[in-house]
């Protein structure tokens, strides 16, 4: 079956879950999740597999063991592909790609490329263009000091002082972005 997007029922499912994030709500609406949220995500992954490789949908349950927030379910459906990440919620559709949790050797190569004159300035130009086009380009796990051997004053020091990079595009998926069915009763 071809991916046709997420229907209004998917947005309504997450709006309801946000209002009542309980096991009771989940069990009463699990078929809605399976049919209108998870199934479209799996269809999208099948369509993207030829270009990006096989993807997988993340589980909808939160790990609450060490969290102060004990709500049991995630308020989005997310999936990972070898080349990126997709997340759907009542408020937005987000796609992204980047460098997350690289091996030490990958991180060392990345930092060397960032600090090199040619590739470092190319990266700065690409990031500027992406930001101009309203992509969210950012870093995760930014270090408080420059990595060993990298002077903090180099133009690329900000780029090389991170352990992960991402580029994301956000779009609305909530009210006003889909045709909503009138409520009855």
Identify the band that residue 156 occupies on the pLDDT scale cut at 50, 70 and 90: very low
For the chain, give the mean pLDDT.
82
Identify the band that residue 18 occupies on the pLDDT scale cut at 50, 70 and 90: very high
What total of structural domains would you count in the chain? 2
Domain termination residue (choose one: 90, 122, 147): 90
Rg for the chain, CA atoms, rounded = 20
The residue whose two tokens read 């700065």 is 124
- My answer on whether 86 and 139 are in the same domain is no
Its domain, for residue 113, covers: 98-168
> Is residue 185 assigned to a domain?
no
- My answer on whether 51 and 19 are in the same domain is yes
Answer yes or no: are the C-beta atoms of 173 and 93 closer than 8 Å. Answer: yes
> Is residue 177 assigned to a domain?
no
Residue 17: both structure tokens together: 């879950």
- My answer on whether 14 and 69 are in the same domain is yes
Structure confidence by residue, pLDDT tens digits, 70-90:
999 999 999 999 978 999 999
pLDDT for residue 174 is more than 60? no
CA 35 – CA 40 distance, rounded (Å): 8
Higher-pLDDT residue of 46, 96: 46
Higher-pLDDT residue of 97, 26: 26
- Give the residue from 7, 173, 29 showing the smallest Cα distance to 87: 173
CA angle at 92 for the pair 91 and 94, rounded to the nearest 5°: 155
Domain termination residue (choose one: 60, 90, 120): 90
pLDDT for residue 35 is more than 80? yes
- My answer on whether 13 and 84 are in the same domain is yes
């Amino acid at each position: 079956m071809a991916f046709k997007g997420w229907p209004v029922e998917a947005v309504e499912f997450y709006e309801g879950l946000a209002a009542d994030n309980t096991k009771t709500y989940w069990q009463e609406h699990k078929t809605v999740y399976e049919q209108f949220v998870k199934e479209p995500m799996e269809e999208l992954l099948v369509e993207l597999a030829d270009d990006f490789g096989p993807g997988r949908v993340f589980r909808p349950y939160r790990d609450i063991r060490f969290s102060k927030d004990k709500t049991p379910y995630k308020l989005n459906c997310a999936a990972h592909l070898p080349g990126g990440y997709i997340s759907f919620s009542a408020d937005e559709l987000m796609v992204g790609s980047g460098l997350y949790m690289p091996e030490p050797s990958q991180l060392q190569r990345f930092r060397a490329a960032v600090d090199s004159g040619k590739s470092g300035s190319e990266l700065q130009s690409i990031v500027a263009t992406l930001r101009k086009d309203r992509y969210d380009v950012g870093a995760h796990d930014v270090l408080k000091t420059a990595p060993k051997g990298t002077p903090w004053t180099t133009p690329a020091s900000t780029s090389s002082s991170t352990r992960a990079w991402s580029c994301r595009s956000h779009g609305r998926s909530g009210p006003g972005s889909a045709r909503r069915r009138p409520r009855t009763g």
